[in-house]
Chains A and B, each alone.
With several copies, the nearest count.
Chain A
């Protein structure tokens, strides 16, 4: 086989010549049809227009003839020879000597290089031929070559289509799997949150006293931390029945937020409780609590509101240490803030200056709270006035609903978030 240059006047002739050369060079069938299709596409315009093209083919050289290839390669590069004798290259140049412009080489089934001018070149690696040129004897007909190519191309397409099918299925499976995995992980997350929330609430409940049921009084409480999902801060309440049948209520707001202030608040409510149960008079309890706690918690500062209620008579007694005033709303709607001067635990000169005495008639509502309820808009006075209105509005509702209803109304605007306790007591006909 030698380099050849042929002038061609028809597509059929071009294809036929190329296929025979490719076959003789032992090109794989796929490369052969790619080469034939590509050359056809490049030359079609010229041949259709009746202008001949030149086909120059340089067959691969036998291994014992290194460098021989370079003879037919005017623009041969050194790296073309670097492939060594393991495989040769069939070089195909298609010259369009009469073409008015350079042909497009875009998207050819076998990419071509462009030489200067209107020439396209393919350098196609060929397998190492064993000994003699095995394909030279008994050359098949052109129809045979075409049929072979068609068969290979169809098989390749069908194999790809099958792969494509498997791959689409795999992607669909994966998509379903990802969805299911995501849901599973999110559900796990949700369960985790719920479990932790449960423990947190139980632990918080452990800090708070159980409900007290006393004929003649209805009581309910609402508490919410400054930050959602955070545990109780330093706002705490306590309520219990004293041996004489009166109800004692403590509301405390220990300095700071978070859990250290929870401990302080617990210290206060428990000290007050024990002192009250011990029989200490109400007017001395704020001061006595300060004394008792000062010995081991020097940092503790807390405002505290103490209330005593006789369920039978409705008699109310209040003591106070720096805590915002209790609110009393009469059945008829008149309301008053029950101010009692006094200073809280850890404050200078701690203790309630006096006791305030009043009386709840059936239907009257007492509201105890921490400043988080009234000072969410920063102005205590304004907050107390809003509280009076809110409590008046809600005072006939079921007792369990009142504290939350008041808090909701008070907190429509929050400029200064703070822990909040709202506790309501209503006297009912015993």
Chain B
């Protein structure tokens, strides 16, 4: 289903969900690469429970701004909250950046969640859906990946974790 091209040694994994409404046609979107036009981003600290709420409200507002419908708002806000919580709980705090995207007249949203925590030793394992077993609720990384169109994890033990996700608007 979802394409995975992880290189375990680099602890890096990217993929995109096979959602029917995937990103605009063209080359796969490369974070950091030129291509999609990006608006000015806003950065939020994630250092307390209250920050998690602030981030949630900010992401909600950004999805509304980008014209996302209720269902996609829910997808993005849920993924953002999960990633921010991971950064807070497992990464000892970090930041979340919201960046509006535009490409081929379509709008999108990119979220970059960083922490300086211990890193994820086994990204593939963390991406596995331990959910439905009911036991290991894991990081919810796999769930966040499914909720978004594009997904990338950069991590290395001891060097923190950065997760970059984005989703495009259907309209």
Contact = CB atoms under 8 A, between A and B. Distances in A.
A179 to B, nearest CB: 4
A135 B147 CA distance: 55
Nearest to B78: A178
A176 B142 contact: no
Interface in A169-227: 170-184, 186-188, 190
A167 B143 contact: no
Given A168-B49, A168-B53, A183 B146 contact: yes
Q: Interface of chain B, helix or strand or loop or mixed? A: helix
B33 interface: no
Interface in A129-178: 163, 166-168, 170-178
A176 B140 contact: yes
Contacts of A181: 71, 74-75
Contacts of A188: 20
A190 B2 CA distance: 10
Contact of B85 (A163, A172, A182, A186): A172
Contacts of A173: 60, 70, 73-74
Nearest to A163: B53
A180 B81 contact: no
A174 B79 CA distance: 12
Interface in B35-69: 49, 52-53, 56-57, 60
Contacts of B70: 173, 176-177, 180
B85 A187 contact: no
A174 B146 contact: no
A174 B147 contact: no
B146 A186 contact: yes
A179 B147 contact: yes
Contact of B82 (A163, A175, A190): A175
B144 interface: yes
A178 B137 CA distance: 12
Interface in B74-98: 74-75, 77-79, 81-82, 85
Interface string B123-140: 000000101100001001
Contact of B131 (A168, A175, A184): A184
Contacts of A171: 53, 56
B60 A180 contact: no
A168 B50 CA distance: 9
A182 B56 contact: no
A180 B147 CA distance: 11
A237 to B, nearest CB: 31
Given A175-B81, A188-B20, A180 B1 contact: no
Contact of A170 (B60, B129, B140): B60
B138 to A, nearest CB: 10
B60 A182 contact: no
B78 A175 contact: yes
Nearest to A172: B85
A170 B52 CA distance: 13
Contact of A183 (B1, B56, B81, B132): B132
Nearest to A194: B1
Given A170-B56, A173-B60, A187-B132, A179 B49 contact: no
A383 to B, nearest CB: 27
B62 to A, nearest CB: 14
A180 B57 contact: no
Interface string A328-354: 000000000000000000000000000
A171 B57 CA distance: 11
Nearest to A179: B143
B51 to A, nearest CB: 12
A168 B137 CA distance: 19
A184 to B, nearest CB: 5
A177 B71 contact: yes
Given A175-B82, A177-B70, A181-B71, A190 B132 contact: no
Contacts of A168: 49, 52-53
A183 B129 contact: yes
Contacts of A176: 70, 82, 137, 140
A182 B147 contact: yes
Contacts of B1: 190
Nearest to B69: A180
Contacts of A175: 78, 81-82, 85
Given A175-B78, A175-B82, A182 B143 contact: yes
Contacts of B129: 183, 187
A272 B20 CA distance: 43
Contacts of B82: 175-176, 179
B77 A180 contact: no
A271 B113 CA distance: 64
B78 A179 contact: yes
B41 to A, nearest CB: 22
Residue of B74, B75, B142 most packed against chain A (CB within 10 A): B74
B170 to A, nearest CB: 12
Contacts of B53: 163, 166-168, 170-171
11 contacts: A170-B56, A173-B70, A174-B78, A175-B78, A175-B81, A179-B131, A180-B137, A181-B74, A186-B146, A187-B129, A187-B132
The 10 closest A-B pairs by CB, nearest first: A177-B74, A179-B143, A180-B131, A183-B131, A175-B81, A180-B71, A183-B143, A183-B129, A178-B78, A179-B140
